[in-house]
Amino acid sequence: MKEHEFNCPYCYNEISTWIETDKFKQQFIEDCGECSNPLEMIIDCSSGHIHTIMINPIAQ
């Protein structure tokens, strides 16, 4: 697990999330801890390293 910090595309606050780095491809929805808006996380990992993280706001 690795902690990743990023800026929320809704409220621009810096928030952090924990990423399981032993899962090769993962996609999940996480709510921003500040504004509670849903974010789609698309993450590519291998052998403990994070390769790419895409964070998309989900239009409601």
Q: Which residues would be at the binding site for Zn ion (CB under 5 A)?
A: 8, 10-11, 32, 34-35
Minimum CB distance to Zn ion, residue 49 (Å): 26
Minimum CB distance to Zn ion, residue 13 (Å): 5
Closest CB to Zn ion among residues 13, 46: 13
Rounded CA separation 9/1 (Å): 23
Rounded CA separation 40/58 (Å): 7
Closest of 56, 60, 21 to residue 42, by C-alpha: 56
Closest CB to Zn ion among residues 14, 48: 14
